[in-house]
Chains A and B, each alone.
Chain A
Amino acid sequence: MTKVRIPPTLRSEVGGERELVGEGETVREVLEDVAGRYPALEAQLFEGGTLAPFVNVYLGGEDVRTLDGLETRVNGASVILLPAMAGGC
């Protein structure tokens, strides 16, 4: 069970939840498990099987781009999904 933090701009896709739990050995499996339950989230997160480029994914505070990408093994750490936020208003 891996915790996945949902950013505020994607919460309407998951019924307002701030955090979800997913099953899987790798970041990809965990995200696919979560997205499988929320089709609206899947539509935003994945583009033809790859993760949308505007979403950063962190595992245990490290950007998965600096690890093994979506194939990084989760090993009990939690996942944070993070798109940029524009607002300074």
Chain B
Amino acid sequence: MATYRELLAQVKGEIDELGAIEARERHGTALFVDVREREEWEEGAVPGAVHVPRGQLESRIEGLVPDRSTEIVLYCAGGSRSAFAAKALGELGYEHVSSLTGGFTDWKRNGFEVETPQALTPDQRRRYSRHLLIPEVGEAGQERLLASRALLIGAGGLGSPASLYLAAAGVGTLGIIDADVVDDSNLQRQIVHSTDSLGEPKVLSAKRTIEALNPDVEVKTYEERLTSENIERILGEGWDVIVDGADNFPTRYLVNDASVWHGIPVVHGSIYRFEGQVTVFNPGDGPCYRCLFPTPPPPELAPSCAEGGVLGVLPGIVGSLQANEALKLLLGIGESLQGRLLLLDALGTTVDEVAVQRDASCPVCGEHPTITEYVDYVEFCQGART
């Protein structure tokens, strides 16, 4: 029977080890995995390192690093736990694994960079535990969401589910723009409001619901109608993503032009009766709203839900899809709807997709823009037919 010392020496003989200086040369190319316990990690770590405690390494590594040819540098405090970890990863088929011999202690002694990871509180770790279990989100992703800012245009049918899911997901700052008050006819679908909030400004009703759902979220309210006059002030506060759930064309075109000029991605959703449209406009990279719809329809072909009606659950589906796109954009994961317009038909329960291309002659995001400042959007949308 081997003693611990003998076993460690035997394992060290079977794996590749790196000194701190060699490891530093790999920093930036190899993936550093910190296998220490949480308390050790929180006190300081190698910048960019992924934290996976030794006890969870085998169960989590395939989710975090699907490609077994990835170069991995494992470290712990002194090089023992990471030696056993390196042996385990070798047995799992990882081809380029090494262990930092002197561990994080030696890394620090050499004066190499150290960062103190932003740690979630124990409450947050419980609240977001189902996110933390997903490799694509994890602790780093959750911290990113908590530091993110999403601006919702409208606290109505689309803004209701979108704001609730973004808040529940822990998007740290939500801005909500809406000038309306809660009306009984809203409650068939606008689930961020309730019977208790009838007559109350929608932004305040939404703020109360969101804060009750998740106190981590700061809600900034804008009880005003978005116009050419106030949009610079509001966008100037800095947003990572805009979720557009406006109910009229002038606002849609205004939001588009401003988002192009500010370089903020827009998650677009629109609904009518049983049908919805969802896409992502990413300025500078993909098409904008004007590339897709250069001209708004004449008023008689653009009835609002107030005129034509809408199935109550439809904004629930479309607004949730918008929240999904916004979360992916904020996390930098997955494939967004950029360049694709999703067409949802709730009556037949079908989803179609059409391609949306950037238009080189687009008056706002094209090669030679002709619209470079805010126009009269109401006039632009009324004059569509002439």
Contacts and interface: CB of A to CB of B under 8 A. Distances in A.
Given A58-B354, A88-B246, A89-B247, A9 B272 contact: yes
A31 interface: no
Interface in A8-56: 8-10, 18, 44, 53-56
A87 B271 contact: yes
A55 B385 CA distance: 12
A66 to B, nearest CB: 5
A80 B354 contact: yes
A46 B354 CA distance: 22
Nearest to B348: A18
B2 interface: no
B274 A84 contact: no
A56 B308 CA distance: 21
A86 B249 contact: yes
**Interface of chain A, main secondary structure:** mixed
Nearest to A62: B355
Interface in B275-302: 275, 277, 292-298, 301-302
A77 to B, nearest CB: 12
Contacts of B153: 88
A87 B247 contact: yes
A78 to B, nearest CB: 10
Contacts of B303: 9
Given A61-B353, A82-B343, A89 B295 contact: no
Contact of A89 (B249, B306, B354): B306
Given A87-B247, A87-B270, A88-B270, A54 B298 contact: yes
B356 A9 contact: no
Nearest to B152: A88
Nearest to B271: A87
B270 A84 contact: yes
A61 B343 CA distance: 11
Range for the number of chain B residues in contact with chain A: 35 or more
Nearest to B298: A54
Given A62-B355, A85-B275, A44 B301 contact: yes
A30 B12 CA distance: 74
A87 B305 contact: yes
B355 A86 contact: no
Interface stretch (B101-109, B126-134, B156-164, B372-380): B156-164
A83 interface: yes
A58 B159 CA distance: 29
A89 B156 contact: yes
Contact of B245 (A10, A44, A83, A88): A88
B207 interface: no
Interface of A: 7-10, 18, 44, 53-56, 58, 61-63, 65-66, 80, 82-89
Which 6 interchain pairs have the tightest Cβ spacing? A88-B245, A84-B293, A89-B305, A89-B247, A53-B295, A85-B270
Interface of B: 153-154, 156-159, 244-249, 252, 269-275, 277, 292-298, 301-306, 308, 310, 315, 341, 343, 348, 352-357, 359, 384
20 contacts: A8-B273, A9-B302, A18-B348, A54-B296, A54-B297, A54-B301, A58-B355, A63-B355, A63-B356, A66-B355, A82-B354, A84-B296, A84-B297, A85-B275, A86-B249, A86-B270, A86-B296, A87-B271, A87-B304, A89-B271
